[in-house]
Amino acid sequence: MRYTKKDWLLAGLTGLSLAVILLLLAVLLGQIVWHGAPVISAEFLTEKPGPDMISGGIWPAIYGTVLMTLLMTLAGVPVGIATAIFLNEYASPRSRLAKLVRIAVNNLAGVPSIVFGLFGLGFFIIFVGGSMDALLYDDSAPVWGKPSILWASLTLAVLTLPVVIVTTEEALRTVPSDIRDASLALGATRFQTVYKIVLPNAKGGILTGVILAVSRGAGEVAPIIFCGAANFLPYLPTDLRDMFMHLGYHVYALATQSPNVDAARPTLFGTVLVLLMLTFSLNLLAVIIRSRSRAALRP
Amino acid sequence: MTESKPAVAEAPTNAKMETRNVNVFYGSNQAIKDVDLDIADRSVTALIGPSGCGKSTYLRALNRMNDTIDICRVEGRILLDGEDIYGRGVDPVEVRRRVGMVFQKSNPFPKSVFDNVAFGLRIGGEKDKDVIAQRVEESLRGAALWDEVKDRLQSSALGLSGGQQQRLCIARCLAVWPEVILMDEPASALDPIATAKIEELIRELREQYTIVIVTHSMQQAARVSDSTAFFYMGELIEHDETETMFTRPAKKRTEEYISGRFG
């Protein structure tokens, strides 16, 4: 194909944009790996942080992040998938309720994450937790009505909900309607059709979407600032009502709250590297599942 | 209205399905107008007519597949062995087990050949592996596919040729032991050899099943069917024995369509 002048211009511009993006990514990652890698050691990964937050390791933050991510997934993903199934498989295209839910989901997706944090504080901690305390306990110290890993996880579950719903719906839409018809024509109920035909065929897409949503939620800091992340807490949470350390929040704390910013820098980079590896490995998992499920569909 | 009423051959006593004053609407659009038609037991009834005449819509009313289309509404009575399938308390799932369907575009599940045929049995609650294996073989033989796939039952159905896929869909339909099989232009996407195989199969299946087939091919209707119904603009114009329809149709429109003057 011969390129005209306009083609060359367009190719040049897009190539330039690509170079800028790759350069930024390389500088960012290079910096983090360069400064962070030397800090990482078995001790760094398995020890509690020292009282100055700089010495010692970041194990409680790793543990807290993983536990929070797990709880968030358990709480949010089933609801999100169920909602998408309702919207795509059960609700009629003209249904008012479905329209309303879709509008709500789209708006939810556009809400800044700090607002989710405030919502978590107001709804989960003060309203739900506070009401539980009022019902169950005398008005002494709050038991449920205080920041904890439970409320932080639920807040993040709400944050990731729209992503799960939208990606699941997309995955469901890729299942051709003629195999739904085939299933129904064989005397399958709608539930059997969803469970035996639609979901197995959308599995790869759903899993990919879920993992991407989870990996986004795992790295969010803003929503959990008010809801349960602790600045410095050198022991592991053992109860849903405990507060917890979080890698992202630990980065924020090291960068802004540390008395000696220069001394904190290596630890800071090490923590960032661990957080990135955690979310990257989740993304990698998503990529692998996606390519596998595509391969499975081929004859 | 009354003079355009079709000259229905007096209700055969062996009607498997009877439809009375059937109207089908898509929203405010009427797709089927007042159709009275009897479908004889263990025979092949062909539905012919130009595109958009409503024959597929009518076909999908016979096993309540139209229920899945939100804006679709069916009026009138459709009887299966004398019982209204749209009657109160009738489960469409039950209707579809008795009235199977083969679609225009072959639509095997992205599963193995075996699992495709076994699907209807399994969702029907059959657990016995021997029973399933036996019914799968029986159905594949019934659809004249067994010899071609017996060595690859566990490989993906999507690897079969177009004609094989369509026969697999027929086998899948046979496996649940339906009484009536609806076929919506089952050979329109196939080459002549695969089409011939499907037609031969239809003639064999007539011994045991009641078959209603929508087709665009006049020759196909002539070759496979016992009686033919001509639809035009949502109305049933004429229904008679296939031979009569193709040699001495009672209505001028039928003659014009069959001789290729319009449509």
Q: Are residues A286 and A156 in the same domain?
A: yes
Report the chain B residue with the minimal C-alpha distance to residue A293: B110
Determine the pLDDT at residue B262.
Answer: 65
Q: How far off is chain A from B135, nearest CA to CA, in Å?
A: 15
Phi, psi of B75 (to 5 degrees): -120, 160
Contact B61, B231 (CB under 8 A): no
Q: What's the rounded Cα separation, in Å, for the pair A75 and A78?
A: 7
A268: left (phi over 0), alpha (psi -120 to 50) or beta: alpha
Q: Are residues A4 and A103 in the same domain?
A: no
CATH number at residue A233: 1.10.3720.10
pLDDT band at B246 (very low <50, low <70, confident <90, very high): very high
Q: Is B56 on the interface with A (CB under 8 A)?
A: no
Task: Select from B103, B123, B169 the Cβ nearest to the Cβ of A192.
Answer: B123
pLDDT digits (tens, 9 = 90+) for A290-299: 888 777 655 4
Q: Are residues A30 and A156 in the same domain?
A: no
Paired tokens of A249 = 């929040």
Determine the pLDDT at residue A195.
Answer: 94
DSSP A126: I
Distance of CA A131 to the CA centre of its chain: 28
Phi, psi of B97 (to 5 degrees): -70, -30
Q: Are residues A174 and A95 in the same domain?
A: yes
pLDDT band at B2 (very low <50, low <70, confident <90, very high): very low
Whether residue A168 has pLDDT greater than 90 = yes
What is the model's pTM? 0.84
Mean pLDDT of A9-31: 95
Determine the pLDDT at residue B5.
Answer: 45
Task: Select from A94, A182, A192 the Cβ nearest to the Cβ of B109.
Answer: A182
For residue B56, which of B8, B122, B103, B5 has the smallest C-alpha distance?
Answer: B103
For residue B111, which of B154, B145, B80 has the smallest C-alpha distance?
Answer: B154
A223-232: b or e for each residue (b if 16 or more CB lie within 10 Å)? bbbbbbbbee
pLDDT digits (tens, 9 = 90+) for A220-269: 999 999 898 888 888 889 888 899 999 999 999 888 887 787 888 889 99
The number of domains in chain A is 2
Q: Are residues A184 and A281 in the same domain?
A: yes
pLDDT digits (tens, 9 = 90+) for A99-150: 999 999 999 989 999 999 999 999 999 999 999 988 888 777 888 889 999 9
Contact B231, B237 (CB under 8 A): yes
pLDDT digits (tens, 9 = 90+) for B47-104: 999 988 999 999 999 999 998 888 899 999 999 999 999 999 999 999 999 999 999 9
Mean pLDDT of B140-160: 94
| Binary contact (B110, A188; C-beta < 8 A) | no
Whether residue B3 has pLDDT greater than 70 = no
The boundaries of the domain holding residue A204 are 42-297
Q: What is the mean pLDDT of chain A?
A: 90
**Which sign, positive or negative, has the C-alpha torsion A283, A289, A291, A297?**
negative
**Chain A residues near any Cβ of chain B (below 8 Å):** 92-94, 176, 178-179, 181-189, 192, 196-197, 201, 297-299
Q: Are residues A148 and A3 in the same domain?
A: no
Determine the pLDDT at residue A286.
Answer: 83
